[in-house]
Amino acid sequence: MSIRLRLALQFAAIVACTLLLFSALIYFFTYLSRSQSFEESLRNRALVVAHVYFDGTQAKTDPRSRPGYSRYLRQFYRTLPDEEVRIYDLNGRLVFREGMNTNRALPAEWLANNGQRMAQKLPNWRYTVGMFYAVPERGRFLVVAWSKDADSEQKLGTLRTVLITGLLISLVVTGIGGWIFAGQALRPMRLAVQEMSSITASDMHRRLSGAGGQDEVSQLARTFNSLLDRLQTAFVGQRTFVRDASHELRTPLTVLIGELEVALLQPRSAEEYQQVLRNTLDAARLLKDLTNGLLQIARASDDPSQVPLAPLRLDELLLQAHEEVQRRHQTCRIDLDFQLPADIEPVVSGNEALLLSAALNVLENACKFSRGARRPVLATLGANARHVKLEVQDWGVGMHEADRQQVFVPFFRADNARGVPGHGIGLPLTHQIMELHGGSIQVHSQFGQGTRVVLELPRLDT
């Protein structure tokens, strides 16, 4: 079932329930009002008959009683449909009967009634009411009246017809109107669906129109456009990554194939074969390092919930990274400066292998790009109540601002770094590791004056 049809049916159902309840209330209160009115009229009729009967049995010599007697007579001649009025004494003996002569039974409990309301509603709109009438010097008499409310039966029947007809017409009008209005309300959604279905991987630059409003459809369009922005960025990054990775992998593979082909062209001495093997081994190691870097980037891009995290002291991790870099680059001097308050421990929640890789990348880059510098690399570890910060400063070749803005792109290398060994995956890997841990990395550099890299991680409160 389409949303348009479902909305139209739901709207019609709501209106139908509302009209049905409203019609039921109108009918109920009309029925109650007419029933009470007719019951009161029948009670007044019984009172008139009692007045006429008991006043007529006495002489009308008093001039003051004549106007009242005439008024009773005028009301007496206004008969009700199927009317019958009886007067009983307290012994149950019939004293007077007026109207139709029927065999209707008198409710026996009414003679012994001591003040309770005497009224009955019978089927077919028939009513029975009773009342006690006191006559001076003669005692009390029970007056009982029967009649049928034919007028209410007719009028309420007409009201039922009008309400049912109006309800059916309202349902038809509501259904048609709901279908039209639902179509108009969902029109932007249909346009958005058509635009979505026409967007493919080859034209990710296209965006949905109608995102400038404040309604739900506009919010959906803005959300989808934001999703397209992220997908486009991911696709572009993926294409760039595949292109650059292919280029970087091709270099050591070309060296391997070239060395082996040259070695097979003609017989060589043992020393020459050893040189070929050394060159091949260097290319294989280069290929291994590149492959490991790619695997680390893939691992750092994982879902954070899938990466095991544990409390780590960043000062101990920095000492471990410092020892490893000194082993790899024995000529590089790295000074450590721990600016840690006495009451704050540099503890973070992270993955030890990934954070160690991030620290190694930053320290190793500082060593590689500051060869020949007169001042040593300075690694400063600081902490406050919320963050732990590692700052690595070198006084090497530095980089231009245009190159600095692309240092997080995998395989990117600045022009002045072409002669330095590497693949351009250290800083991109560190950037992804920091994002995975909820931290940040900042790179500040000036060409010819050195580079400063700042790693900041949320501190784990212990």
> Is there a single domain that holds both residue 99 and residue 232?
no
Q: Is residue 175 one of the residues assigned to a domain? A: no
> Is there a single domain that holds both residue 341 and residue 283?
no
> Is there a single domain that holds both residue 422 and residue 308?
yes
Q: To 5 degrees, how large is the angle CA 96–CA 97–CA 100?
A: 175
Whether pLDDT at 90 is above 70:
yes
SS3 297: helix
Whether pLDDT at 125 is above 80:
yes
**What pLDDT score does 409 carry?**
74
**What pLDDT score does 50 carry?**
84
Tokens of 438: 């909820």
> Is there a single domain that holds both residue 354 and residue 254?
no
Q: Is residue 209 one of the residues assigned to a domain? A: no
pLDDT digits 0-9 by tens, 100-112: 778 888 877 787 7
**What pLDDT score does 337 carry?**
92
Whether pLDDT at 64 is above 60:
no
> Is there a single domain that holds both residue 295 and residue 320?
no
**What pLDDT score does 231 carry?**
77
Q: Is residue 162 one of the residues assigned to a domain? A: no
Q: Is residue 187 one of the residues assigned to a domain? A: no
Q: Is residue 190 one of the residues assigned to a domain? A: no
Whether pLDDT at 380 is above 70:
yes
> Is there a single domain that holds both residue 436 and residue 452?
yes
The phi-psi region of residue 379 (left if phi > 0; otherwise alpha if psi is between -120 and 50; otherwise beta) is: beta
Q: Which one has a higher pLDDT value, 68 or 233?
A: 233
Q: Is residue 279 one of the residues assigned to a domain? A: yes
Summarize the confidence of residues 339-363 as an average pLDDT. Answer: 87
Measured distance CA(273)–CA(263) in Å, rounded: 7
pLDDT digits 0-9 by tens, 215-228: 777 777 778 778 87
Q: Which one has a higher pLDDT value, 343 or 208?
A: 343
Last residue of a domain, one of 119, 138, 156: 156
Summarize the confidence of residues 304-315 as an average pLDDT. Answer: 80
Q: Which one has a higher pLDDT value, 149 or 296?
A: 149
pLDDT band, residue 21 (cuts 50/70/90): very high
**What pLDDT score does 422 carry?**
62
pLDDT digits 0-9 by tens, 239-286: 666 665 665 566 667 778 887 887 787 787 888 888 888 888 877 876
Summarize the confidence of residues 192-200 as an average pLDDT. Answer: 74
Which residue range(s) make up the domain with 85? 3-156
Whether pLDDT at 29 is above 90:
yes
Q: Is residue 65 one of the residues assigned to a domain? A: yes
State which H helix or E strand residue 442 sits in: strand 440-446
Measured distance CA(334)–CA(363) in Å, rounded: 8
> Is there a single domain that holds both residue 13 and residue 92?
yes
Summarize the confidence of residues 273-300 as an average pLDDT. Answer: 71
Summarize the confidence of residues 68-91 as an average pLDDT. Answer: 69
> Is there a single domain that holds both residue 71 and residue 107?
yes
**What pLDDT score does 388 carry?**
93
pLDDT band, residue 297 (cuts 50/70/90): low
Last residue of a domain, one of 300, 330, 362: 300
Alpha-carbon dihedral sign for residues 265, 270, 271, 277: positive
Output the domain CATH number for residue 242: 1.10.287.130
**What pLDDT score does 179 carry?**
85
> Is there a single domain that holds both residue 333 and residue 412?
yes
Whether pLDDT at 460 is above 70:
yes
**What pLDDT score does 381 carry?**
93
> Is there a single domain that holds both residue 281 and residue 308?
no
**What pLDDT score does 358 carry?**
87
pLDDT band, residue 60 (cuts 50/70/90): very low
**What pLDDT score does 456 carry?**
94
Whether pLDDT at 59 is above 50:
no
Q: How many domains are there within the chain? A: 3
> Is there a single domain that holds both residue 310 and residue 290?
no
Q: Which one has a higher pLDDT value, 31 or 370?
A: 31
**What pLDDT score does 303 carry?**
57
Summarize the confidence of residues 387-397 as an average pLDDT. Answer: 91
**What pLDDT score does 161 carry?**
92
Summarize the confidence of residues 89-108 as an average pLDDT. Answer: 81
Beta-bridged to residue 451, according to DSSP, are 394, 445
Residue-wise burial string across 286-305, b where 16 or more C-beta atoms lie within 10 A, e elsewhere: bbeebeebbebbebbeeeee
Lowest mean pLDDT among 66-80, 232-246, 347-361, 406-420: 66-80
pLDDT band, residue 396 (cuts 50/70/90): confident
Measured distance CA(118)–CA(134) in Å, rounded: 16
> Is there a single domain that holds both residue 236 and residue 289?
yes
Segment of 4-18, 100-114, 223-237 carrying the highest mean pLDDT: 4-18
Q: Is residue 108 one of the residues assigned to a domain? A: yes
Measured distance CA(66)–CA(73) in Å, rounded: 11
Whether pLDDT at 76 is above 60:
no
**What pLDDT score does 61 carry?**
41
**What pLDDT score does 106 carry?**
80
Over its C-alpha atoms, the chain yields an Rg (Å, rounded) of 51
Last residue of a domain, one of 266, 282, 300: 300
